[in-house]
Amino acid sequence: MIEILIIADDLSGAADCAIACVSVGARTVVIIDPEADTDNATAVSVDVNSRAMEPREAGAAIVAATEWLYEKGTRILYQKIDSTLRGHWADDMVHIRQAAAKVLGRAPLAIVAPAFPEAGRATIDGHVFVNGTPLEDTEVWKQAGLTGPADLRMLLTQAGLKVELASHEQVALGSEALQTKLLNWLDAGCSAVVCDAQTEVDLLTVAAATLALPEKPLWVGSAGLMRALVRAGEAKTTSLSPPTRDGVEKPVLVVVGSASGASHMQFDALAQAADVSCLVIPSSNLRLDTGPSQVRADIQVLIDALACGSDAAVMIGNKEIDFSEGPQLATALADLIAPYLSQVGGLVVTGGETARAILVKAGISGLRMLGEIEPGVPVGLSIGEIAIPVITKAGAFGDSTTLIRCHAALRGGTSDHLIPASGG
């Protein structure tokens, strides 16, 4: 029985949300294909990859995944969305509610709380902030080609939903008062409630109030709300430590496919701090019209490093990248890297599209989640033709030394960097 089902729009999000379930002892997997073997897991996170799809295609994929995996006995149905609102998450939410209605006999109330305080994400008056800056003023918002305010109520209303806001003042009154308010809104025909949250305590309040509702809602958020749900719903948390403390024997490969400035800064820091052969592949060399000789020249650095047993790091150069090229560039990079994955002892990937493309190309069907390096940076053991520890990270997550810690954790000898999955 799947007790917790997470529907995610990209792979890094599917993993960083799922890792919270490990802290309550749940056998937790991330799968790439909704019909893949779930390995008797009680917590399943499926990457539908809808962020990279056109809205109509995404809707069909969302409905199919939900209908295939969701059961009446499932305690938590969770839609993992990007904490910076990339993708067509509001439309995806409409489709999940419709699919859930076939199981529940009603469309569930959507509890929308994308805050992730540990990663610097907050929701204030229904607007998203990143490290204190309005989301619409950030690099991520501009790179995604998004315009207008990052106003959750407006975006949900545009998707045809009746929306209310649980302000920070209302959340601060406590879970019982919030639950009463939610029930009143539900009786009035509300279909979605946006919840303000600036701290983990705020998210715990939202979690406690919504878990106590007499009818199961649909929870919608980033990894922050899921962490709060497992903490609020369990009296005790346990941990499973990743089996990488002694270090992998084969080389570690780090791949940065994200165009985020944060990830490129992390790559540069890794190149300076660790004994790693680094390769930057210009995005122009990954486009469809690139000659094979240039591609071979680019990848030779990686081939030589792995052949010598050396660690390697590869990054897509982000000059003149069109955001819409993301899926094609990720696929092209995966075509270059996947054939050499059997020579690798551990993999670190930044960017959900890139991670998915590499795993699919390498015959990996999913990840059995184990722990995390830091909040938002989980590690799992690959399931499929290759079994290696895989660390995934969203492009904008972490500080300048995050990739250094990821590399060190897989290399062993500095295992104190590798922490068990935390419920909060």
The DSSP element (H or E) to which 134 belongs, if any, is strand 133-134
Q: Which CB contacts under 8 angstroms, 24+ apart, belong to 131-139?
A: 135/84, 135/85, 138/84, 139/260, 139/261, 139/396
More confident residue, 318 or 252: 252
Is residue 334 predicted with pLDDT exceeding 60?
yes
Is residue 417 predicted with pLDDT exceeding 70?
no
* Rounded mean pLDDT, 128-138: 95
* Rounded mean pLDDT, 376-402: 90
* Rounded mean pLDDT, 173-190: 97
Residue identified by tokens 């059997």 is: 342
How sure is the predictor about 246, in pLDDT bands with cuts at 50, 70 and 90? low
Distance CA 36, CA 44 (A): 11
Q: What is the CA radius of gyration of the chain?
A: 21
Is residue 96 predicted with pLDDT exceeding 70?
yes
Q: Which CB contacts under 8 angstroms, 24+ apart, belong to 121-125?
A: 121/83, 121/84, 121/222, 121/224, 122/197, 122/198, 123/152, 123/194, 123/195, 123/196, 123/197, 123/198, 124/168, 124/196, 124/198, 125/165, 125/167, 125/168, 125/196
Q: Which residues contact 180 (CB under 8 A, 6 or more apart)?
A: none
Q: What is the pLDDT of residues 249-282, one digit of tens each?
A: 899 999 998 877 888 899 999 999 878 999 888 8
Is residue 71 predicted with pLDDT exceeding 50?
yes
Looking at residue 419, its pLDDT comes to 41
Instruction: Report the chain's mean pLDDT, rounded to a whole number.
Output: 88
CATH architecture designation of domain 252-417: 3-Layer(aba) Sandwich (3.40)
Q: How many CB atoms lie within 10 A of CB 18?
A: 32
How sure is the predictor about 289, in pLDDT bands with cuts at 50, 70 and 90? low
Pairing state between β 389-393 and 377-384? antiparallel
How sure is the predictor about 385, in pLDDT bands with cuts at 50, 70 and 90? confident
Q: Specify the 3-state DSSP secondary structure of 250.
A: coil
How sure is the predictor about 242, in pLDDT bands with cuts at 50, 70 and 90? very low
Looking at residue 109, its pLDDT comes to 98
**Domain residue spans of the chain:** 4-233, 252-417
Report in angstroms the alpha-carbon separations of 28 from 124, 257, 371: 32, 26, 11
Distance CA 299, CA 280 (A): 10
Distance CA 91, CA 68 (A): 19
Q: What is the pTM of this model?
A: 0.90
Q: Which of 211, 258, 238 is nearest to 113 (CA)?
A: 211
**Buried/exposed 206-243: b ≥16 CB within 10 Å, e otherwise:** bbbbbbeeeebbbbbbbbbbbbbbbbbbeeebeebebe
Give the helix ranges, DSSP H, for 151-194.
152-158, 168-171, 175-187
Which of the listed CATH numbers 3.40.605.10, 3.40.50.10840, 3.10.580.10, 2.30.130.10 matches domain 4-233?
3.40.50.10840
Pairing state between β 121-124 and 127-130? antiparallel
Distance CA 188, CA 171 (A): 20
The proportion of the chain whose per-residue pLDDT surpasses 70, expressed as a percent, equals 90
Looking at residue 220, its pLDDT comes to 98
More confident residue, 247 or 370: 370
Q: Specify the 3-state DSSP secondary structure of 113.
A: strand
Is residue 16 predicted with pLDDT exceeding 70?
yes
Looking at residue 397, its pLDDT comes to 84
Question: What are φ and ψ of residue 365, in 5° steps?
Answer: -95, -15
Is residue 239 predicted with pLDDT exceeding 70?
no
Q: Specify the 3-state DSSP secondary structure of 349.
A: strand
